[in-house]
Amino acid sequence: MSMNTQGCPTRADDANVTEAPTFTGNKALQIEEALSFEIGDLAGTGVDFPEADGSEDRLGGLARNSDIGLPGLSEPETMRHFVRLSQKNYAIDMGPFPLGSCTMKHNPRLNEKIARLPGFADLHPLAPQSAAQGALELIDRLAFWLKELTGMPAVAMSPKAGAHGELCGMMAIKAAIEARGEGDKRIRVLAPESAHGTNPATAVRCGFKVEAIPADETGRVDLAALKEKLGDDIAGIMVTNPNTCGLFERDIRAIADAVHEAGGYFYCDGANFNAIAGKVKPGDLGVDAMHINLHKTFSTPHGGGGPGSGPTVLSQVLAPYAPVPFVVHDGDEYHLVETRRAAKTQGEGAESFGRLTAFQGQMGMFTRALSYMMSHGVDGVRQAAEDAVLNANYVLARLKAEMTPAFDGYCMHEALFDDRFLKDTGVETIDFAKAMIDEGYHPMTMYFPLVVHGAMLVEPTESESKRELDLFCDALLFLAKRARAGDVDRFKAAPVYAPRRRLDETAAARKPVLRWTPESPREAAQ
Ligand SMILES: Cc1ncc(COP(=O)(O)O)c(C=O)c1O
């Protein structure tokens, strides 16, 4: 009997079993699940209340006269429906999540416990400040540590994602430029070719024109090319550090100095702060604004697109433009400064650009992030960064036996490969990624950053053990060998074992079906 690296019998032993479709459509405990609207029956569930006496129509004839179309499931059916759906999600609690640039690290259970304390979890955002002193103190403490770790004097806590933090930082930059009377003149923002898409999108959203800076042969910003693009119309630069190729920008100080000399501001995309937290203070690098994705560096859940949190640290020059609300501490009490007018009387936020969110930010994420920080301490946060870099370099060192690293030398927290090792095999990056699903792995980030052909960006994070990393590397080395052995059909067919085979991604992008309609596309096709 053949065994896999975990000592379990492999599927090779099942090779003679035909995969005939089952009667139910289920594949063992992989249960097919229809939409609740398709399986529900309103007649069989719920409670019918008697007509209320004397209830006259107070809706002026606008009361609905047809069924609302609720699904109508019993409690066990409802529970099963959502549990089955949840089981179709891959999650960090199921296995490694090597998505580069995403830092999918373990979400400690301690964080969850603290976030559920009723004093935090049940607090209403409109509760009087006198009744919310503990929550305000928590926000203030987290702000303190974020400033401490980044070496920056101010932080806006309310942004609700990395991209939202970018918006906050760029709005502060815009406000500062306008206050200098240069709003019409300084209209260009520079961003490296390898930038995450949210960087140019944010700059454009703020009314700037974006220009790309090429990468040099080491995968870093080409300083000479950058200097050529500077002029008195520069509003600023947006640079990710460590960058999206997983490399530390060696010229980062020179970049900051050049942009400042040209009269612009330096926005640092801090999505990769996990690699340097406790080691490098962005404030020492000349940064004017930087968001911190709490869900990446400080272990709060990514939550399927939300709720995230992207506090944005600001330099002394940008601090006056910080958004409201923010927390101030005078002696024994914490206060919320909620309006621009109130902000004017405070040092920080004196020229606030206004409000970004309805309330103070993502309290649940603040609670989790502070819990992480306090349980790790500064030395623990530093070690997490060191281990994240060590793990990525371990993966790089092992995989380069069969795969091609995009750049020479050590990496920071993520290992970037290109598709040269697949040359002439007929297998492409996407096929390789789909074959990983069959092996039980969530694919790495593919085709990003764009500066690398057929990019595969692996970010193992510090939370993976050597055992997990070895299994992961063994699987990828096996796939790389199989690709070179000419097993193209298998790659093109992958994923074979997933509940759904390969989707038509072009159709999904061009003709997305985004809402349920009573006649489903499947019925229409019959
Ligand atoms: C480099 C970089 N910048 C910005 C973002 C945006 O962060 P968020 O997803 O929290 O909006 C990401 C997200 O993956 C990123 O990797």
Q: Is 271 in the pocket of ligand 1 (CB under 6 A)?
A: yes
Strand ranges (E), 68-163? 154-156
Locate 127 and state its tokens: 């509760």
Provide φ and ψ at 86, rounded to 5°: -65, -30
For ligand 1, the distance from its centroid to the CA atom of residue 165, given in whole angstroms, is 10
d(CA 164, CA 311): 9
Q: Is 311 in the pocket of ligand 1 (CB under 6 A)?
A: no
DSSP 237: E
For ligand 1, the distance from its centroid to the CA atom of residue 373, given in whole angstroms, is 21
Chain position carrying tokens 């080395």: 477
Mutation pick for ligand 1 pocket among 97, 102, 160, 196 (CB with most ligand atoms within 8 Å): 196
Q: How far is CA 93 from CA 19, 105, 463, in A?
A: 29, 10, 11
Locate 264 and state its tokens: 């612009």
Q: Is 101 in the pocket of ligand 1 (CB under 6 A)?
A: yes
Per-residue pLDDT of the chain (526 residues; tens, 9 = 90+): 556 666 665 554 554 555 678 898 888 888 889 888 788 777 777 777 887 777 677 888 888 888 777 788 888 999 999 999 988 888 999 999 999 998 999 999 999 999 999 999 999 999 999 999 999 999 999 999 999 999 999 999 999 999 999 999 999 999 999 999 999 999 999 999 999 999 999 999 999 999 999 999 999 999 999 999 999 999 999 999 999 999 999 999 999 999 999 999 999 999 999 999 999 999 999 999 999 999 999 999 986 445 789 999 999 999 999 999 999 998 889 999 998 988 887 766 689 999 999 899 999 999 999 999 999 999 999 999 999 999 999 999 999 999 999 999 999 999 999 999 999 999 999 999 999 999 999 999 999 999 999 999 999 999 999 999 999 999 999 999 999 999 999 999 999 998 888 988 899 899 998 887 766 555 555 5
d(CA 73, CA 452): 49
Q: Is 240 in the pocket of ligand 1 (CB under 6 A)?
A: yes
For ligand 1, the distance from its centroid to the CA atom of residue 193, given in whole angstroms, is 15
Burial 83-96 (b: 16+ CB within 10 A, else e): eeeeeeeeebeeeb
For ligand 1, the distance from its centroid to the CA atom of residue 387, given in whole angstroms, is 21
For ligand 1, the distance from its centroid to the CA atom of residue 504, given in whole angstroms, is 26
For ligand 1, the distance from its centroid to the CA atom of residue 478, given in whole angstroms, is 31
Mutation pick for ligand 1 pocket among 97, 101, 245, 414 (CB with most ligand atoms within 8 Å): 101
Phi-psi region of 112 (alpha: psi -120 to 50; beta: other; left: phi over 0): alpha
d(CA 312, CA 433): 34
Q: Is 162 in the pocket of ligand 1 (CB under 6 A)?
A: yes
Nearest Cα residue to atom 14 of ligand 1: 102
Nearest Cα residue to atom 10 of ligand 1: 162
Locate 397 and state its tokens: 């060192």
Q: How far is CA 275 from CA 112, 335, 381, 388, 438, in A?
A: 24, 34, 10, 6, 30
For residue 161, give the ligand 1 atom closest to its CA. Answer: 10
Global pTM value: 0.90
* C-alpha distance across the termini of the chain, in Å: 45
